[in-house]
């Protein structure tokens, strides 16, 4: 889905106004789109036993909203993977939690919050394929193709987003802002200042 971006402070509560420059995707847009995505997935998966594999931690809100609309016999598991190049750039990938459910012969729906460079997916997908699932479909809330370095595409995309550093609805900057109910853009000075501290670690 393409976004019509407009500069708006509407929907940003007082606490966030000094840090969030604008809302990119509103709560209402997220709710509507996630429901539509779930419908598409449900039709494609045709009632088959499904293992939803969600990547920690950015998927928390998206996953919770998506699966409540998924009328499928599904089981849920998580892979912990994080890029520890703090700040706004992707860094070295570290696995913090391995999959526990057996996916052999199963349909797998791999869920992530954002597909950016594609480095995360390009590490996770071979690991999953090695476990011999029947098939793997990739679902991401946001697709930011501008920085892609790996040849990865998602089967289900909530929104294609332009080249902004986005936070909220699970997405963080230095582990903050995950609890924003919308997807927003920080003022550049916020992440530049924080980067001076965080990126040196
Ligand atoms: C973020 C995001 C994706 C990944 C996408 O994860 O959740 O998993 O980056 O970026 P890429 O396509 O450039 O690899 P992060 O490592 O920040 O961990 P988090 O989910 O805990 O925020």
- Residues 11-51 pLDDT 10s: 787 788 899 999 999 999 999 999 999 999 999 999 999 99
Q: The domain that contains 80 carries what CATH number?
A: 3.40.50.2020
CA of 74 to the centre of ligand 1 (A): 24
Say how many Å lie between the CA of residue 23 and the centre of ligand 1.
20
Q: What is the mean pLDDT of residues 132-146?
A: 97
Mean pLDDT of the chain: 90
150 falls within a domain: yes
- What gap in Å lies between CA 63 and CA 76, rounded to an integer? 10
Is 1 a domain residue? no
What is the CA(104)–ligand 1 centre distance, in A?
26
Give the strands of the sheet with 74-83, arranged side by side.
93-97, 74-83, 50-56, 107-115, 135-143, 156-160
Burial of 46 (0-12, 13-18, 19+ CB in 10 A): exposed
| Residue 191, in any domain of the structure | no
pLDDT tens readout for residues 70-104 = 999 999 999 999 986 555 565 689 999 999 999 99
Q: Which residues line ligand 1 (CB under 6 A)?
A: 55-58, 82-83, 90, 112-120, 172
pTM tops 0.85:
yes
Domain count, the chain: 1
**Domain of residue 118, residue span:** 27-162
Residue 109 inside a domain? The answer is yes
CA of 171 to the centre of ligand 1 (A): 8
Residue 7 lies in a domain: no
The crossing angle, in degrees rounded to 10, of helices 27-45 and 60-68 is: 60
Whether 180 is covered by a domain: the verdict is no
- Counting runs of H as helices and runs of E as strands, what totals does the chain give? 4, 9
Please identify which of the residues 116, 143, 163, 172 carries the catalytic annotation: 116
Q: Is residue 179 part of a domain?
A: no
| Best mutation site among 83, 115, 141 for ligand 1 pocket (most ligand atoms within 8 Å of CB) | 83
How high is the pLDDT of residue 10?
Answer: 67
Out of 55, 58, 111, 146, mutate this one to test ligand 1's pocket (max ligand atoms within 8 Å of CB): namely: 58
175 occurs within a structural domain: no
* Known catalytic membership, residue 116: yes
Please check the confidence at residue 9 and state whether its pLDDT lies above 90. no
């Amino acid at each position: 889905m393409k976004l019509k971006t407009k500069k708006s402070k509407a929907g940003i509560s007082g606490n966030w106004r000094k840090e969030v420059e604008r809302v990119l995707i509103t709560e209402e847009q997220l709710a509507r789109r996630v429901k539509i995505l779930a419908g598409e997935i449900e039709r494609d998966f045709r009632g088959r036993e499904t293992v939803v594999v969600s990547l920690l931690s950015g998927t928390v809100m998206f996953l919770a909203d998506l699966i409540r609309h998924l009328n499928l016999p599904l089981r849920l598991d998580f892979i912990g993977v994080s890029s520890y190049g703090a700040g706004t750039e992707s860094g070295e990938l570290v696995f913090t939690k391995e999959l526990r459910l057996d996916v052999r012969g199963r349909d797998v729906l791999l869920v992530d919050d954002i597909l950016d460079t594609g480095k995360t997916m390009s590490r996770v997908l071979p690991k999953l394929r090695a476990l011999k699932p029947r098939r793997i479909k990739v679902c991401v809330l946001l697709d930011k193709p501008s920085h892609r370095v790996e040849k990865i595409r998602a089967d289900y995309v909530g929104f294609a987003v332009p080249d902004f550093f986005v936070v909220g609805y699970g997405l963080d900057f230095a582990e903050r802002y995950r609890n924003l109910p919308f997807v927003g853009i920080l003022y550049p000075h916020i992440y530049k200042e924080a980067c001076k501290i965080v990126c040196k670690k």
